[in-house]
Amino acid sequence: MNVIVICVIAMVDVWLPYGKTDVCVRVPARNLLGSITPTQKSGVSDLKAETDRALKEPIGARQLNEIAKPESKVAIIIDNVAACRDLNEVMLLSVFAELNAAGVKDENVTVIFGCDNNSNKDVVKSGENVAFFGEEVLKRVRVVSYNNLKAQDFVYVGTTKLHGNKVFLNRVFAEANVKILLGEVNLHYCAGYGGGRKSVISNVCGVETFQHNSVMMLNSAAQVGVLEGNPVHEDMTEVARIAKVDFIVNVVRNGKGELVKAFAGDLEAAFLEAVKLVDEIYKVKVDRRADIVIVSAGGNLADVSLDQACKAIDNVLDVVKRGGVIILVAECSKGHGNQVFYDWMSRLTDLKTLERDVKRNFAVGGYKAYYLLKVLQNHPVILVSSLPDYYTINVFRLKTARAVNDALTEAFKLAGSASRVWTIPLGNYTLPEYKAPEEEKT
């Protein structure tokens, strides 16, 4: 008698953000190590109440209404907090209230919108300002954009002692009596964390100052989630000190983009408290490294372009084995993003040449090419996106797949059918860290 044996492989469906939707990858249960996600923290119900609380309970500093004087000229840098108009408006109006309480008139307040020296963001046009700040902010104070500044708008204010960086500062900011930074603390690929001191060098410093700092990303200590010994962070902090920042208001958000907590006060003390919360939410320890990592940049905004989505690749390197396969899920609806990223990937073929060019002639986007080439030395990367294969394969040197399940099939061919798999749905925001089990340490 013939016996027919039917083997059913149990599958696990994992949904991953892709643009404004989600895609499903089916991973054999026997291969799946699990899904690495940020720790869940609830967002506050009242943005204004939380911001006001932080302002009334400053960390390491006097209250803002005690720092400012009636005659003070005030300059406020506001980073692009993921184009979150509600949060931008709330933070600014709460700060205005504190300044008004000190007797400062709105006409003596200038808001500098940080289009960010190290990105290819467009300058916010007048018609878009309302969407970003709200009508009341624009009616009350002067708003200027960093990218509208010319060379003569900068003044030399000093040189950093640790790394010899000459600090050229936006004249409006340099000449203000009270200097305030508003922004978000989150993970950053080479500064360790964004927010706090980074707002100065990215948004109101001259190109020479910015480039001098950026070249230090080649230092092995310049890593995501690391501050101690990180030269990029050290220099950013000293630049902000030289600029004489008086006060910061920074926020930390959860994986859904909701405000979890606001931090206000001293440039360094308030920032470091925010960093602790970022670590609590976004650093995730695991005790296994995978042969295959399937990572989504995190959906819309995070995966709008390839240069943005590549942050996810850098974040997962600690939990993929050497030679292991990385599958990046990112729609890239606006293409590759930064043009320098494209140009350098097109003409430079090896890491040493690229490193030399970064040192000699740093250009925005060049570092992204550097990081991608560095990854490709040790890992095959399969991209699931809307980008044409021609550019993805020939310019960016990535493998491609039209669907995430096709990419997983290809990854199993490369790494073996018994390969273990991690999935990471919010790769741009999550920092998984490998920690060996105790038995392996002995």
For range 181-196, the mean pLDDT: 93
Phi, psi of 124 (to 5 degrees): -70, 120
Q: Which pLDDT value is given to residue 361?
A: 73
pLDDT given at position 113: 83
Q: What is the pLDDT of residues 340-386, one digit of tens each?
A: 889 888 887 777 777 777 777 777 677 788 889 889 999 999 999 99
125 pLDDT higher than 80: no
Contacts of 410 (CB under 8 A, 6+ apart): 382, 399, 401
Task: Tell me which residue of 258, 265, 212, 264 sits closest to 239, measured CA to CA.
Answer: 212
CATH says 11-37+287-441 is which class? alpha beta
149 confidence band (pLDDT: 50, 70, 90):
low
Q: Which residues have C-beta within 8 Å of that of residue 106, sequence separation ≥ 6? A: 96, 100, 140, 141
Measured CA to CA, the distance from residue 243 to residue 319 in angstroms comes to 39
d(CA 257, CA 259): 7
**What is the reported pTM?**
0.90
pLDDT band at 51 (very low <50, low <70, confident <90, very high): very high
Can you name the residues that pair with 192 across neighbouring β-strands? 188
Give the model confidence (pLDDT) of 210-250 as tens digits. 989 988 988 989 999 999 999 999 999 999 999 999 999 99
pLDDT attached to residue 400: 97
pLDDT digits 0-9 by tens, 392-402? 999 999 999 99
Show me where the domains of the chain are located. 11-37+287-441, 57-280
Window from 122-126, 131-135, 220-224 with minimum mean pLDDT: 122-126
Nearest CA among 47, 14, 76, 116 for reference residue 338: 116
Q: How confident is the model at residue 432 (pLDDT cuts 50, 70, 90)?
A: very high
Secondary structure class of 175 (helix, strand, coil): coil
Residue 126 pLDDT > 60, yes or no?
no
Query: What would the two tokens of residue 328 be?
Result: 């990046």
**Mean pLDDT of all residues belonging to the chain:** 89
Whole-number pLDDT of residue 442: 47
pLDDT band at 8 (very low <50, low <70, confident <90, very high): low
Please tell me the predicted confidence (pLDDT) of residue 414: 97
Asked whether 371 and 396 are in contact (CB, 8 A), the reply is: no
Indicate if the pLDDT at residue 82 is higher than 50. no
Instruction: State the Cα–Cα distance between residues 140 and 304, nearest whole angstrom.
Output: 33
pLDDT at 179: 98
Quick one: fold of 57-280?
A: Rossmann fold (3.40.50)
pLDDT at 360: 74
Mean pLDDT of 135-164: 83
With a pLDDT cut of 70, the percent of the chain lying above it is 90
Tens of pLDDT, residues 68-77: 999 999 999 9
Distance of CA 370 to the CA centre of its chain: 17
Note whether 11-37+287-441 and 57-280 share their fold: no
**pLDDT given at position 1:** 54
Mean pLDDT is lowest, of 42-56, 95-109, 137-151, 241-255, for 137-151
DSSP H/E element including 77: strand 74-79
For residue 80, name the pLDDT band (cuts at 50, 70, 90).
low
Q: With the C-alpha atoms ordered 207, 209, 210, 212, is the resulting torsion angle positive or negative?
A: positive
Q: How far apart are CA 357 and CA 366, in angstroms?
A: 8
pLDDT of residue 297: 96
* Residue 121, pLDDT above cutoff 90: no
What is the pLDDT, as a whole number, of residue 152? Answer: 63
Q: Look at residue 120 and tell me whether its pLDDT is greater than 50.
A: no
